[in-house]
A and B are shown apart, each in its own frame.
Chain A
Amino acid sequence: MSWVEQPAWLLHRRPYRETSLLIDLLTPEEGRIAAVVKGVRGTGRVARQKQAWLQPAQPLQARWRARATQGLVSLRQLEPRGQGTFLQGEALLCLLYTNELLVRVLPEGAPVPEVFSAYEALVERLAGVVSRDDLAWALRRFEGVLVAALGVNPIFATDALERPLDAAARYRWDPEQGWLLAADGVSGCCLMAFAAQEPLPACLKEWKRMLRMLLAPWLGNRPLRAQQLWQATKTEK
């Protein structure tokens, strides 16, 4: 019987039966996995320690028995992999957004090493952000890696007719054809800047629209609740 051991990040947890949790983990080689962790919701020392580890932004190391088919895995071992990152305020909300996004769009069991690395970098960046622009850029970079991992390859150089992108024109994304000219689309200049990974503050809103277009086939008509929470926060202010 072989074992799988992977570094992991907790995306979501919910109570299961009396003392267990059902969790979603992000791992590099096994992608998103759904797992059950037993003996977590008690008042004993071991349970309390596990509760403290099982938090988003806490790097983990997980071990479970290899399985032939997809489905719930029962974790045999779970321990912290270094110090957790303490996020607050808007940075924390961004992490909750990212976790919801990953649970919604990542299929179970497909290897996503580049998403895993980008997630690690994102957590680190969120801890160090000083402005909303920093937050937005950190999220857009992560989303860029995610859409590539989902198999979308928006070449930020040519349009659907294989003409070079025009910095002065506007484009919308068509999953079948590619970038099509559209008056209400995203600026060509910003598309090219995204490819060059240039964090231009003037392009942040454009990139947000662009990534929503790219992720739309996975999200459908059901909006992410973290986005609504973000909007509610701004209304509150």
Chain B
Amino acid sequence: MQTPLLAELIDALRVLPGVGQKTAQRMAFHLLQHDRQDGLVLAETLQRALRGIRHCTRCRNFAEETLCPICASSKRDASQICVVETPADVDAIESAGVYQGQYFVLMGHLSPIDGIGPDELGLDALAKRLAEGDVSELILALNPSVEGEATAWYIQNMAREHGVKVSRLAQGVPFGAELEYLDQQTLAQAFQARQQA
């Protein structure tokens, strides 16, 4: 028999992805039995993060100030904007360490059937940035899916209106992959986008 607070804690932990009833229960027992101090730190950090983290007004990525560290940095090239679907994509590109420009985070992709249109992706804010005239290249780093393709096409049209060059990440065979295990689409795209050696 669980106390009401314990039941509430288990229920609350289940909001996390991948955490079902059993895992939530294990987490709750662990915090209460072995790690109360760290649990309190966790609770306090959660509170501060959820209250203090908002969206960068320029790129929509997570930020604690009006601008995120990337948009605020004078070392980043403001003439290049890389458009991605999620903050996790920004992290992935940043850890690859090959890009020095700025970002625009859509927080999703166009999906009419789910009610996600240009407004929900903040594309008016992107259009404003393009209209400012400082951007010379837009790099589309969207997921290779039908919705990603539709989003890319929409943004391409928008950039063309503002005379901004658009490039897209190459699609093809992942490094270290074996050709025989690749799906047909990836292989077909890799063939279509082959380059002269």
Contact = CB atoms under 8 A, between A and B. Distances in A.
Interface of A: 11-12, 14, 18, 45, 48-49, 52-53, 55-58, 80, 83-84, 86-89, 92-93, 95-97, 99-100, 103, 224-226, 228-229, 232-233, 236-237
26 contacts: A12-B114, A18-B18, A45-B181, A49-B181, A49-B183, A55-B145, A55-B146, A58-B185, A84-B185, A88-B149, A96-B147, A103-B113, A224-B112, A225-B113, A225-B117, A226-B112, A228-B112, A228-B117, A229-B118, A229-B154, A232-B154, A233-B157, A236-B158, A236-B161, A237-B157, A237-B161
Interface string B116-127: 111000000000
B186 A52 contact: yes
Interface residues of B, number: 28
**Chain A binding site: helix, strand, loop or mixed by DSSP?**
helix
B146 A92 contact: yes
A48 B184 CA distance: 12
Interface in B73-132: 110-118
A236 B157 contact: yes
A138 to B, nearest CB: 17
Contacts of B161: 236-237
Contact of A48 (B17, B117, B183): B183
Given A56-B146, A84-B185, A97 B112 contact: yes
A83 B184 contact: yes
Contacts of B185: 52, 55, 58, 84, 86
Contacts of A232: 117-118, 154
Contact of A12 (B113, B157, B184): B113
Interface of B: 17-18, 110-118, 145-147, 149-150, 153-154, 157-158, 161, 181, 183-186, 188-189
A236 B127 CA distance: 10
Contacts of A93: 150, 153
